[in-house]
Chain A
Amino acid sequence: MSLLFALLFYGATLILVGGVAYRIYEYARTPAPLKIPTTPAPTTTGGVALRMFREVVFFESLFKSNLWIWALGWLFHGALALVLLRHLRYFTEPVNFIIAFIQPFGMYAGFAMAAGLAGLWARRLLVERIRYISTPSDHLMLALLLGIAITGLAMKFLMHTDVVAVKSFFLGLMVFEINPLPAHPGLYLHLGMVALLMIVFPVSKLLHAPGVFFSPTRNQVDNPRETRHLAPWAAKFEAKN
């Protein structure tokens, strides 16, 4: 079983890193031939950086749009960030003091993450408009994330696993050694779902994470009259004219 999980995580990591890197490469190489920032938009690069920061950190547009989705979505993402940071302790020795410091917060963030996900799922089921636009994969994605949160919390509060052995397993993977993974059904479930999430990341809507940085309506500077903006494929038309 340890070997199986080792292979699973090597594979999942390759797919995640390779897949997302390829997507980013695709986004980056595809030109944006026209200036299409949603205005009012910043007129300087610094302003665009600030707009993007507010968008990514505070979900500014979503806040303007719908307070319920914003609150639940922000709760989930914020909590997820804390939980991920907390999990860095499984990959580092010694553990950075900041990571050590946030351990208790990360623990409670697990509950916040589950609550946020449950709220988003409730909206998906209860609000007619959102039910209409939901596909089976939207529900599965929530099920997967919620499953990860619940199994994680269960291992913390209900059925402990040998976290020292888990850490040794992951530290081992990082130097291509396969150490024994505790035989624990909750852990198997937890890790299996995490690996699945990593695998589907590059082919699913999870691409919104890298995608937002490449969104021309958000990342373009509003200066079309001051600078000429020309995509290579569009420049060819000028020769004809």
Chain B
Amino acid sequence: MADENTPVAAAPAAKPAAAKPPEKAKVVAPTYREFPTIPALKLDAMVESNPYVAAAGHNEAIGFPGTLVDGWEQKAVAKMGELLGKYRSLRVYMDACVHCGACTDKCHYFIGTGDPKNMPVARQDLMRSVYRRYFTLPGKLFPKLVGARDMSKDVLDDWFRYYNQCSECRRCSVFCPYGIDTAEVTMAAKEIMHSVGHGHKYVNEIIGKVHKIGNNLGLPGPALENTLEGLEEDVLEDTGAAVKYPLDMQGAEVLLVTPSADFFAEPHVDSLIGYGKVFHAAGISWTLSSKASEAGNFGMFIGNYEQMQKIAMRVREAALELGVKRIVVGECGHAWRVAYAFWNTLTGIGAGANDPFAIQLQKQLDPNYKQPSHICEVTWDLIQAGRLKFNKEANDHRIVTFHDSCNVARGSRMGEYAGGQFDIPRNIIRAVANHYVDMSEATTREKTFCCGGGGGLLTDELLDLRVKGALPRMEALNEIVQDKGVNFMATICAICKAQFTKVLPYYGFKMSMVGGVHQLVSTAIVLNSEQ
């Protein structure tokens, strides 16, 4: 079993010297398991994990009560009743679980922490116990018999603690015989907590920024313009090609909506450079939008339909204003889930509508393309059509692997067939690089492990959780680093990139090991410098 107290330097036996000392003494990477055994239960191992409660200002700015309201117990139960009537998933999943235990060893946070409340079924039961108490006859009559509990401060504290230890990655839902998706339960729990004034600071602060400014990082239009001009200069200097990174360009064919981290963060920006080069090389006119300068949608993380819709509406409005024909989404996992699976519902970005609201936009969009498209779909289509040329040797210093991001893998699709979301990014990598290796198949495709930072948990106060939650992915990575010399892990998610940049050093890897698929594209693409 993993020994929590092993110093970080000893964790990955292979590279002891490379390990960076952790910033806080208590945050250490768990040791790799010699065999992928299931950890023994460590009761309350993560009970000290304390996500910051949102301040009144952050809650109120996005329309929630500032602090825990009077009579919140009854109000929380009433909200649960409301959600049971609005979401079939929650309704069915509260009833259907038989406690078979199939999911118990599937969560990366359980594997990394051993805390039994991080087993998906136990996490669901935090809510199911309250559901049984107030909404089922046996729970009303014999609460002890069926494990029913009153809504109390202790329960609320457990909810806040452990629903903020779920990255909504849906890995458990792959393995559940009834398809019970803990993410649905976590989202409902967060929605209930928000409705009584008990939000998570990190997420609510960010949602406030999107509503106010247009993106998660709070970057105003002029700052974006500056950055993009800088990128144009850099690319011109590097390649001699005048690649444009347009902002708010009226009448462009493509509106690119990308996570705002792409504008500033490393290694994210390298992928943004790559998208621009792809459009440039293919001769497609495109633009970014200052209004829709965020693909991410933290409304999903808190399970709040109205917030999610309000955030997504910015994209619809920008598309209508700019008159674009296509909407393309950059490398971001949960953003792609929202875009692919929810945008048509929320905003009419898609096809097949017969209502005026959606038709208004859909008649403007080009029906020859999937709306929205993922940037990987765009690039792969262009590669297949022979419209992009690559110098693959430019990536020869890299031995690449691909980390499937959870929301892309289990909540969306690319291309024409089920599973295209796995093949298309890999196809692109193989088209632009000579050395590609997959990680263990128990950790890829729909069985992929979350990076440990998804679902609105990418915040410093949860660093300990994030480092531990990365364990299964780090084990799989370490295996091919040792065996195949892999030195680059490509991914198509802004959160994965930020999370790995932060936690890789705890496992003795360099933070620069992680990067985007379009970073690889950017390295190898051949540009016509006369364009």
Task: Show the binding face of A for B, using Cβ within 8 Å.
Answer: 23, 26-27, 30-36, 38-43, 47, 55, 59, 61-62, 64-66, 69, 73, 120, 123-124, 127-130, 132-138, 140, 200, 203-205, 207-208, 211-212, 214-218, 222, 224-231, 233-235, 237-238, 241
Contacts and interface: CB of A to CB of B under 8 A. Distances in A.
A140 B145 CA distance: 9
B92 A211 contact: yes
A134 B38 contact: no
Nearest to B412: A39
A213 to B, nearest CB: 9
B325 interface: no
A229 B305 contact: no
Given A55-B177, A130-B104, A228 B358 contact: yes
Contacts of B526: none
Given A30-B85, A30-B88, A41 B418 contact: yes
B145 A36 contact: no
A224 B145 contact: no
Interface in B392-450: 409-413, 417-419, 421-422, 446
Given A65-B103, A129-B38, A34 B179 contact: no
A226 B96 contact: no
The residue in B125, B147, B345, B409 that gathers the most chain A C-beta atoms within 10 A of its C-beta is B345
A128 B178 CA distance: 23
Nearest to A120: B100
B133 interface: no
Chain A interface, >50% SS class: helix
Given A136-B146, A137-B147, A234-B345, 20 more contacts: A30-B86, A34-B305, A36-B184, A66-B102, A130-B99, A136-B147, A200-B138, A203-B138, A207-B95, A214-B88, A216-B88, A217-B173, A218-B178, A222-B418, A225-B340, A228-B348, A228-B352, A230-B345, A231-B86, A235-B355
Given A26-B91, A30-B84, A33-B345, A225 B372 contact: yes
B446 A204 contact: no
11 contacts: A32-B89, A36-B181, A36-B411, A38-B173, A69-B101, A128-B40, A135-B145, A203-B137, A225-B340, A226-B350, A228-B345
B247 to A, nearest CB: 25
Contacts of B125: 133
A27 B95 CA distance: 10
B344 A224 contact: yes
B351 interface: yes
Given A42-B418, A62-B100, A69-B101, A35 B341 contact: yes
A238 B136 CA distance: 34
Contacts of B372: 225
B41 interface: yes
A138 B99 CA distance: 8
A34 B417 contact: no
The residue in B96, B176, B309 that gathers the most chain A C-beta atoms within 10 A of its C-beta is B96
A59 B98 CA distance: 14
A129 B96 contact: no
A229 B28 CA distance: 45
B357 interface: yes
Interface stretch (B115-123, B211-219, B510-518): B115-123
B73 interface: no
Contacts of A132: 41, 116, 119, 122
A138 to B, nearest CB: 5
Given A203-B136, A211-B178, A217-B173, A137 B145 contact: yes
Given A36-B181, A65-B102, A228 B89 contact: no
A129 B351 contact: no
B52 interface: no
Interface string B366-384: 0000111000000000000
A33 B86 contact: yes
A23 B94 CA distance: 12
Interface string B325-345: 000000000000000111011
A225 B92 CA distance: 25
